[in-house]
Amino acid sequence: MRMTVTGGAGFIGSHLVDRLLAAGHEVVVLDDFSTGKHANLPEGHERLRVIEGDVADPEAAAAATEASDAVYHLAAVASVQASIDDPVATHRSNLLGTLTVLEAARRAGPAEHGAAGVRRFVYASSAAVYGDAQDLPVAEGAPKDPLSPYAADKLAGEHYLAHYHRRGELRGVAFRFFNVYGPRQDPSSPYSGVISIFLERAAAGLPITVFGDGEQTRDFVFVGDVVDQLVSALDYPAEAELQVYNVGTEHATSLLELIGTVQKLLGPLQVGHELARAGDIRHSLADASKLRSVAKALGVRPPGTRLEEGLATIVAAAGPDAGAAHPRTSLRHA
């Protein structure tokens, strides 16, 4: 099968590309390399085609989705702060880009009765659509309260996919990722997660700054577990309405607990505190029972990698020469 992965040179996308290639698929990556890296992709692979282009460019989107059996739309400016600082630019990537790729996939035609065309459109959404949810764990049917342009764009992307899905023009699945972490998450990027930043600084013997009391919590989910769900989405049952799934572990970890786990791996850390940042979500935790149900039916392991195991994988992948990166961080949704 031929698979299209937008954002395929990025953190999650490149892990998905590796998995699809290992399964014997042809893969087309569309990435503008603003944050993705050529080094994240296997060089010279005979079943990999890389298109350097903008997802909001109709010609690039059409070239990437042509003759594709499935489209994984992961490309985005994955930063709440960037969307606040420049909502127009991030809107272009996060919503106009989504609509452009959806339309390109629609034009490729639905795969019915053996006909050529896109069989499945998988959309990467975010737990940020829930905002600062008060009732935890949060299920898919909970009220949506996007608190940033990034979150608003992600939720709007779900609605656009639902439109194409209801019309039978595409068969979609949407995943709301909670806080994804793992190897290749660039700690020097302003879009990186708290885990990659903490590990990088700890490995370099540099201090860590915590905004607030450190009791804020997140549902950290390992990238390998996320990829398991992305791959299995090809076999999810087709339903009349678009199905959306939380991707999380259903386990809350505080920032202080995270620091304690990092110290087990890398030794004592110098930790400082500053005032909490306005707009940071206090607690986030997935109700992933819907995902667990479909995963069980398909024989797929639901997200469950222990945090210490996932952190150890990152440390091993980074090697002994990992250097310093961003000096401070707060907790935001990926």
Residues 221-233 pLDDT 10s: 999 999 999 999 9
- What count of residues does the chain have? 334
Residue 94, amino acid: N
150 is annotated as an active-site residue:
yes
Q: Is 197 helix (H, G, I), strand (E, B) or coil?
A: helix
Q: Among all chains, which residue has been given the structure tokens 């150890």? A: 312
- pTM for the predicted model, two decimal places: 0.92
Query: What is the average pLDDT value for the chain, to the nearest integer?
Result: 90
Joined together, the tokens standing for residue 98 give: 């989504």
Provide the pLDDT for residue 117.
74
* Residue from 150, 164, 236, 245 carrying the catalytic annotation: 150
Q: For the chain, which domains are there? A: 2-179+220-247 (3.40.50.720), 183-219+251-285+306-329 (3.90.25.10)
Provide the pLDDT for residue 331.
42
Extract the runs of DSSP E, i.e. beta strands, from 168-327: 172-177, 179-181, 208-211, 217-218, 220-222, 243-247, 253-254, 271-274
Q: Among all chains, which residue has been given the structure tokens 């700054």? A: 209
CB 104 within 8 A of CB 73: no
Provide the pLDDT for residue 230.
98
What pLDDT band is residue 116 in, cutting at 50, 70 and 90?
low
175-218: pLDDT as tens digits? 999 999 999 998 776 556 789 888 888 888 888 888 889 999 99
